[in-house]
Structure 1
Amino acid sequence: MQAGDRLVLGTLRRGGAWPAVLTVTAVAGAAAELAVPYVIGRTLDVLVAGGAGGARWLSLCAGAVAAVLLCESLGVWARGASCAQAAAGLRLGVLRHVLGTGHPATRRFPAGELVTRAGLNTEETGRAPETLTSALALLVPTAGALVALTLIDPLLTLTLGLGVVAILFVLRAFLRATTSISGGYQEVQGEIAARLVAALDGARTIAAAGTAGQETRRVLAPLDRLRAHGMELWRANASAAVRAGLVVPLLEVAVLAAGGLMLAAGRITVGELYAAARYAVLGAALSTALGHVGGLARARAAAARVAEVLSLTPAAHGERALPPGDGTVEFRGVAANGLSVGDLTLPGGSVTAVVGRSGAGKSLLAALAGRLADPERGTVLLDGVALPELSRAELRRAVGYAFERPVLVGDTIAEAVGGGAPPGAVAEAAEAACAAAFVERLPQGYATPLREAPMSGGERQRLGLARAFAQGERVLVLDDATSSLDTVTERQVAHALTADPRGRTRLIAAHRPATAARADQVVWLDGGRVRAVGPHDVLWREPSYRAVFQDAHQQDPAPPLPDAVSGRAR
């Protein structure tokens, strides 16, 4: 069984008790529908014969019809509830899996693809309980009709059985074709979403360049393929409907013809002929499963796309806690994605600047230091413990990250910075990141909701820095986290980093010589490897090292500051 089909079956569990309610109502409703022809036939025979008991049989007819209506009403309610609950459970599971997987998920799938798979495709998959249960429920009246016709006359059963086999072949071919076409349709939907998200991400650049028309054509370019898949779906549905539509009247005529001959021969009664005609209709009702089978096909195709996301392996975490230590980070024979680090130590409480041209691997080295990425070879240790052995909570408590474009999570400024930390720690972190001044100018200060706090790129970046200060207990990793700050603010933040009173180990992706000059050591990356490790003033004698900053248009050959060479707490 494929992963997508297993996921479809799993939606029955995610739907809670509602799929069971849906099954009961579907089976009970089908049983009631099977009873209707029988009681009507018996009522007709009693009334034609003029015997007693007609009123009782009429009451049974009314009761059977009422049962059908009641089951249908409950079924509508159960279908909506089961689909909503199954989709919500699956969507939550996908979201947790993507967040737990982290960077590998966003590297494998564009943002728009992930949104489509976690949203639209999980909703389609969540409809599986309804379509699967409804399709299977149609087997009940078909099976019941075959049994009932057998009790009337086996020849009628044979006639209906041949027609049912023909209908099943039509449904099987329709399921296969529609699953394949739906997969292509949903793939193009994801492609359009990915292009749209990328365009929205660069909306300011597009507006400044005046390329809105060009970008619109690029985003909508796959529409022709989407239309082609939609037409294929329509043709497949129309073809299957025509074939099933031809079988049904032929089947009913065949059963009526056989029943009429039997009535003429005296083998069955008028009431039995009526019941046989009705059972032929119920048995052929399997042809109405086209809609349910189409829904099941879309659910299978969507589930296959969701299963691809769930197949990504999230990083496994151990259960160890960190021993007492000063935040020493060790790379032992580490290599990952074209970056060869080898053996490298970040002494506890020190400041390490990572420099190199664009694409040299600065962000990857920063990600390895706090296990946002795992090495392909070698081990990264924190205070003597391999990072994979630490529990998730212990690792994230020990390492604080700040990024170039931070995403602020939480309802208020305080939550975005501290994530539950005491107010004093939040204010202290904001002060260190030079964010306190603009936060205090907000209407409610740190209690201001994020949605009511318009911020510039620099202000947002300062809050990201404050979050790292507030949450990282042993190690701070700044991956291009001061790029949006003005020169004065960046120097203030750099001073706070290099003079951290808590003595945390700091790893900084540096783009300016002044930042590297304040570090205890500089890791110089060149061509996917560590070219040299040493003080900035020593490396500055190398023309190739100076060229790294000159290429970035940051020619600031400031010598190391005597009072800020060491970042250790004093």
Structure 2
Amino acid sequence: MRAAVRRFRVRMGVLAALTAVRVAATLTTPVMLARAIDAAQAQENLGAATTALAVTLGVAILADAGEDVLGAYCGSHLTAWLRHRMLGRVLALGPQGRRRFPTGDVLSRLTESASGPAAFPVLLLAAAAAIASTAGAVIALALIDWWLAAAFAASVPPLVLALRVFVVQATEPFARYQISQAAIATRLLDARQGIRTIQASGTADAEARRILAPLPELREAGRETWEVQGRVSRRLALLAPLTQVVVVAVAGVRLATGDVTTGQLVASASYAAMAVASASLFDTFVQLLNCQVGAGRIEEVLAAVPAVRPPARPRPVPDGPGRLRLRRVTVRAGGRAVLDGLDLDVPPGAAVAVVGASGAGKSLLVATIGRLLDPDDGHVELDGVPVTALPLPRLRHAVAYAFERPAPLGATVHDTIAYARPDATRAEVRRAARAAAADDFVRALPEGYDTPLARAPFSGGELQRLGLARAALADARIVVLDDATSSLDTATELKVTEALRRVLAGRTSLVVARRPATAARADLVAWLDAGRIRALAPHAELWPDPGYRAVFDARPAADGAAAPEPAAGA
């Protein structure tokens, strides 16, 4: 919130000036009113007095209107600024950030939590204005008659104590309320993504109960907050008018003794009302507390450190054919070393299949190449330079990925293929789509490549082919296919692989392979076992090894039938 005030300090300065003018005009109004009343009684200078009163009221009204307009303007810009900062950090955290901040939790922070702090500058000035108005009113009462100020001062300690009790008792329930909201949103989004499984399992009622499980905690936190707020409101509702009555009563007594005039009595009543209006600070405190809780939830995301950081002293991406070297690479997950001191040399321009049992760390291995994650130990080199020394945007252009479940990003089908190269022409996009065997089903869509993604429901295999087309279009020296053909049938995979081989000729490629036929079409196979590369050799040389064949034994059917053929034909 301090950063927000600094960022918008010019607008905050103007807003503070308008607030100061409004407070000054408001404090001056009772004085002008008293003079007008006394002038009317004395029948002297009535025109000048009423003119001064009108000008003072006009200044107060204009300043108040300016505050409202500029306050709303600052609030909207602050909300946008907070949401942009948070979105940038969520994206910078990468896939690892999803474990700490689930989708529903991020959505809750972006909407409700980010909107609260936006009111902070305006509320802060409103609180300062209320305190200044109260202080000015008390001073004015003292100038009229010190007995009036003493009567008001006697009521201040109970008011301050009531506000303090609220802040202490309501902070924790406020936070629990927002956390419970985020938990419900997260579970709802999870259920939305798994709607087919829920329907197929007939577990809709059980899932509804799971989604709403945090509801009792939400209700309890809300009840505690309202109880605290209700207790304090009742006390303030009693203390505020009682204080005003006491001040006016004292003023009436002083009028009877001739120590104050009629106009001063009216001014005293106005200043008393103005002074006890400080009780309205309670509502401001409620909103400031909401700002504090929301800002705390935003700060949790902004303070999170990305697992992959830009290099302090970036080096230019070297020219080279795409040679990869992994040295003593160790990646730990779940308390164990999935990759344990792994060494691997990938020749430039070679197609390498990464093979291993389920859970062997194949995806972790290929993720270290483009710095989707950094190894706990060891390093990865691209053409002789550690990838950690390269600027992240340049590295991500040098290494292209296609995943098992590619995300359909962009507005149209053309956009999703050209996602990494938005300047690509339609001819280039179609050429990449043909290489991935996607051109036929794309052209069959209602608007072809211009079909909005929302109106183009794709199967898993079609999405994978779009992901492959995206990778083929990327101007990258290294292409990584992380299980990117698992949803394709054997015939389609063969067709796509042969087309991609021509498109990717001269580029280094790594393919996470689960089928013997896929491994057989690669130049080399990197056999991953027990966290290390057990062998780097052609598929035909590895196939006689029973341990190597066992990697594919869990996949009978087409894979088992195809196994001997690649070995013989390799």
Q: TM-score, normalised by structure 2?
A: 0.92
Report the counterpart of residue 568 of structure 1 in structure 2. none
Report the counterpart of residue 304 of structure 1 in structure 2. 296
Report the counterpart of residue 365 of structure 2 in structure 1. 365
Could you say what secondary structure the match of 2:29 adopts? helix
Is the CA contact 2:540–2:567 (under 8 Å) kept in the aligned structure 1? no
Could you say what secondary structure the match of 1:434 adopts? coil
* Cα displacement (A) at 1:43: 1.5
Query: Aligned match of 1:324 in 316, 319, 341?
Result: 319
* Cα displacement (A) at 1:123: 1.5
- Give the Cα–Cα distance (whole angstroms) in 2 for the partners of residues 483 and 13 of structure 1: 52
Report the counterpart of residue 186 of structure 1 in structure 2. 178
Query: Aligned match of 1:29 in 8, 22, 28?
Result: 22
**What do residues 237-293 of structure 1 show as CA deviations (whole Å, max 9, x unaligned)?**
111212222321232233223333433333322222222222122112111022221
Q: 1:356 to 1:125 in 2, by over 3 A?
A: farther
Is the CA contact 1:498–1:519 (under 8 Å) kept in the aligned structure 2? no
Q: 1:408 to 1:341 in 2, by over 3 A?
A: farther
1:374 aligns with 2:369: no
Alignment of 1:65-80 (within 5 A): 65-80=57-72
**What do residues 415-467 of structure 1 show as CA deviations (whole Å, max 9, x unaligned)?**
22122223333222212111122222234433333333332222121111111
* Cα displacement (A) at 1:13: 4.4
Alignment RMSD (CA, Å): 2.3
1:489 aligns with 2:492: yes
Query: Aligned match of 2:440 in 428, 437, 445?
Result: 437
Is the CA contact 1:413–1:449 (under 8 Å) kept in the aligned structure 2? yes
User: After alignment, is 418-427 or 296-305 more displaced?
Assistant: 418-427
- Give the Cα–Cα distance (whole angstroms) in 2 for the partners of residues 158 and 523 of structure 1: 87
**What do residues 486-533 of structure 1 show as CA deviations (whole Å, max 9, x unaligned)?**
222111222234455531111111111111122233233345444444
Is the CA contact 2:412–2:453 (under 8 Å) kept in the aligned structure 1? yes
Could you say what secondary structure the match of 1:29 adopts? helix
How many residues are treated as equivalent by the alignment?
557
Alignment of 1:549-568 (within 5 A): 549-553=552-556, 554-556=559-561, 558-559=563-564, 561=566
1:248 aligns with 2:240: yes
Is the CA contact 2:478–2:508 (under 8 Å) kept in the aligned structure 1? yes
- Give the Cα–Cα distance (whole angstroms) in 2 for the partners of residues 232 and 14 of structure 1: 36
* Cα displacement (A) at 1:155: 3.7
Aligned AA (1:31): A
Alignment of 1:504-543 (within 5 A): 504-543=507-546
Could you say what secondary structure the match of 1:266 adopts? coil
* Cα displacement (A) at 1:562: 8.0
* Cα displacement (A) at 1:297: 0.8
1:270 aligns with 2:275: no
Query: Aligned match of 1:132 in 124, 137, 153?
Result: 124
* Cα displacement (A) at 1:18: 4.6
Report the counterpart of residue 351 of structure 1 in structure 2. 351
Q: 1:563 to 1:371 in 2, by over 3 A?
A: farther
Query: Aligned match of 2:146 in 141, 154, 167?
Result: 154
Aligned AA (1:558): A
Identity over aligned pairs, percent: 41
User: After alignment, is 11-20 or 305-314 more displaced?
Assistant: 11-20
- Give the Cα–Cα distance (whole angstroms) in 2 for the partners of residues 345 and 559 of structure 1: 27
Q: TM-score, normalised by structure 1?
A: 0.92
1:475 aligns with 2:467: no
**What do residues 2-49 of structure 1 show as CA deviations (whole Å, max 9, x unaligned)?**
xxxxxx22233455755444433333222222122111112222222x
- Give the Cα–Cα distance (whole angstroms) in 2 for the partners of residues 556 and 19 of structure 1: 73
Q: 1:288 to 1:458 in 2, by over 3 A?
A: same
Could you say what secondary structure the match of 2:352 adopts? strand
Could you say what secondary structure the match of 2:92 adopts? helix
Could you say what secondary structure the match of 1:138 adopts? helix
- Give the Cα–Cα distance (whole angstroms) in 1 for the partners of residues 297 and 134 of structure 2: 34
Aligned AA (1:518): R
Is the CA contact 1:400–1:475 (under 8 Å) kept in the aligned structure 2? yes
- Give the Cα–Cα distance (whole angstroms) in 2 for the partners of residues 197 and 43 of structure 1: 65
- Give the Cα–Cα distance (whole angstroms) in 2 for the partners of residues 284 and 312 of structure 1: 44
Could you say what secondary structure the match of 2:526 adopts? strand
1:502 aligns with 2:505: yes
* Cα displacement (A) at 1:401: 0.7
- Gap regions ≥5 residues in structure 1: 1-7, 566-570
- After TM superposition, the runs of 4+ consecutive aligned structure 1 residues lying more than 6 A away are none
Report the counterpart of residue 279 of structure 2 in structure 1. 287
Q: 1:128 to 1:560 in 2, by over 3 A?
A: farther
* Cα displacement (A) at 1:564: 8.1
* Cα displacement (A) at 1:166: 3.3
